[in-house]
Amino acid sequence: MTLPTATIDKLAFGGNGVCRIDGKVCFVPFSCPGDEVSLYVTTQKKSYSVASIADISTPSPSRTAAECSIFGLCGGCHWQHINYSTQLEGKQKIVEDTLWRGARVPAESISEIVASPLEFGYRSRLQFKTSVQNGELRIGFFRQGSHEVVDAPHGCLVAVPVINEVLTRFRRILMSFPEVKSIVQLSIDSGDCGVIVVLHHTGMLTLDAVRYLADKSDEFGPCTGLFLKSDSHSRCEKVWGNSEISYRLNRKDAGDGPVILTYPPGSFAQVNLLQNSSMLSVVRRLGAFETTEHLLDLYCGNGNFSIPLAVEVASVVGVEGNAESIRAAESNKSVNKVANVLFFCDDVAAGVRRLVSQKRWFDTILLDPPRAGAGDAIAGIICLKPNKIIYVSCDPNTLARDCGLLINNGYRVVETVPLDMFPQTFHVESVTLLCR
């Protein structure tokens, strides 16, 4: 049987390389732009196909050896086989193509991507899956396309080093833990101060098991706090130590000293702290805030943007649906002595509708929604009629969808700045300025 051959043209959101076979788009996992390959077609759809690599006749100059021994098995990284400059080019092109298709934003409006200072060792938050199979403890990540845990005996190369150090400690502890089968996930968060471990379990842990963990505290190493969580909706229960994870962000005037922000275990925070600082700088530049402005910060989380920007504007209103995050935001407001911010815990779309009904107005709306985008909140944002909208996005597709809605209601995209928060993966962050 003659196998189809092709040259990989580019990278797609989702991680695959892209080529054409008989005129049809074909997605090829673990390929690299410039690879000349022969392929096994594994899936045929009306408008596209999926294929696996049978042979690489001519490797791309951009292809490199993956540094991780479980790359290709673990579902975490997608592009370790591609050099970093090509990863950045791929992400730049993904943002440009997606915004053009979804909102007719021209490539000239997309600035050059902001590279991560670190290609590895950057990630400050990680969730390690756990399982026991044939008496063997595995701590790692789900295999591609399955819920089988691939063991990561040496930790994760994209994690900050202290996370791997703490993981090694807890691997030893869990190997002798009598109720280890009840543990399904081990989450480790590291900040500038504090390393918190959350053990997610099935709800079957006994009091003796909890005491066992507490008694092991002298073996936790750099870990500063241990918590238990039984499901995604439950609160974290402290077993031992402190509950604060903190990180720093610079004020506009560096002479005023940094802002110190904390967030609680199990809550959202950016995973690349160096790029979080870069993102704040981009927001500042695009916003060009005046001291007379009133700012609305939607999906404000722990005040990641609200607190450092507050000194630059007249007032800030922050809206967030997660009660734990709002409690952290209120604490951060107090610790940093910020007086001109009001935080509200509310579903964001409902909160925006309430602000519309109160006839509130804001010069600028800043939003940092989850991967699903701003959804139902867009209609309310349009009703508030801000002069500027700064949209922080972690998904180009939902960004394009929401930008299309805003463009149809009198806004234009002035500039989009992609940022690489997640080297070795296809994920890409961006900050977009829209004006009326």
Catalytic one among 74, 223, 394, 403?
Answer: 394
- Retrieve residue 90's tokens: 């791929």
End-to-end CA distance of the chain: 59
Residue closest to 366 by CA, chosen among 270, 423, 296, 435: 296
Distance CA 350, CA 345 (A): 11
Asked if residue 74 lies in contact with residue 95, where contact means CB atoms within 8 angstroms, the answer is no
- Retrieve residue 126's tokens: 């990680």
Would you list the DSSP string of 362-411?
Answer: -SEEEE---TT-STTHHHHHHHH--SEEEEEES-HHHHHHHHHHHHTTT-
- Retrieve residue 136's tokens: 């063997």
349-352 long-range contacts (CB < 8 A, ≥24 apart) are 349/375, 349/376, 349/377, 349/380, 351/298, 351/319, 352/298, 352/319, 352/377, 352/380, 352/381, 352/383, 352/384
Asked if residue 240 lies in contact with residue 213, where contact means CB atoms within 8 angstroms, the answer is yes
Distance CA 205, CA 404 (A): 49
- Retrieve residue 202's tokens: 């099935």
Instruction: Count other Cβ atoms within 10 Å, centred on residue 323.
Output: 11
Instruction: List, in order, residues 6 or more apart from 385 with CB less than 8 Å away.
Output: 361, 436
- Retrieve residue 33's tokens: 């732009």
Asked if residue 419 lies in contact with residue 275, where contact means CB atoms within 8 angstroms, the answer is yes
Residue closest to 319 by CA, chosen among 339, 296, 336, 285: 296
Question: Among this protein's residues, is 26 annotated catalytic?
Answer: no
Burial 177-198 (b: 16+ CB within 10 A, else e): bebbebbebbbbbbbeebbbbb
State the catalytic residues.
Answer: 394
